Each structure stands twice: as structure tokens, then as C-alpha cells.
Amino acid sequence: MKNKLIALVTLLVMSSFMTRIDCLPADNSKDYVKVPTSIKESLETGVQGEIENIVMYERFLNQNIPSDVKTVFTSLKSASQNHLQAFKRALQSY
């Protein structure tokens, strides 16, 4: 009896999970991903991405936000500035 109950509960849980999977939106991420053709192109994309991140963080930091959120955005901006310099240094090889 115990094994039948476990099997029934497992079936119900799996059924519930499968129903949720059917509700997920289609994965169209490939429509937004561009595979670079070279390392140089990858580095150039990295430079542009970090520039855009820095601008985004500056916009966030200009808002009236809690101090802890401001601290996080400041750290993320600093990290993006470091990454930008790293991408630029790597690009000097090309």
C-alpha cells in the first residue's frame, strides 16, 4: 500500500510539473544571440557591452534609490569599468 501511495504522489507531482512546463514561453533566445566570427569581434562586443552597462548603472545611480541599492550599482559600475579596460587591453593585440 505504501509503495502505491508513493507512486501516486510521484505521478501527481510529475503531472503538476509537466503542466507548468507546458505553460513556459517558447525559447527564442537564439533570435537575439549573435555568435562572433573572431576573437577580435568578441572583444569589440565586450567593449560595447561594458560601455552600455556603465551608462545603465549611471542612469540607475541618478535615481532616488535606497543606499544599499546604490552601493550595489556602484560596485557593478566599477566592475564594468574594470572589464572595459581589460577588453580594451586585449584588443590592442589585434
Cell 507531482 -> residue: 13
Q: 42 lies in which domain range?
A: 2-27+34-91
Percent of the chain with pLDDT over 90: 69
pTM, 2 dp: 0.68
Tell me how many domains the chain contains: 1
pLDDT in tens, 38-66: 999 999 999 999 999 999 999 999 999 99
Angle, vertex CA 86, rays to CA 85 and CA 87, nearest 5: 90
Residue 18 pLDDT exceeds 80: no
Concatenated DSSP letters for 18-41?
A: HHHHHTSPP--GGGT----SSHHH
Cell 562572433 -> residue: 36
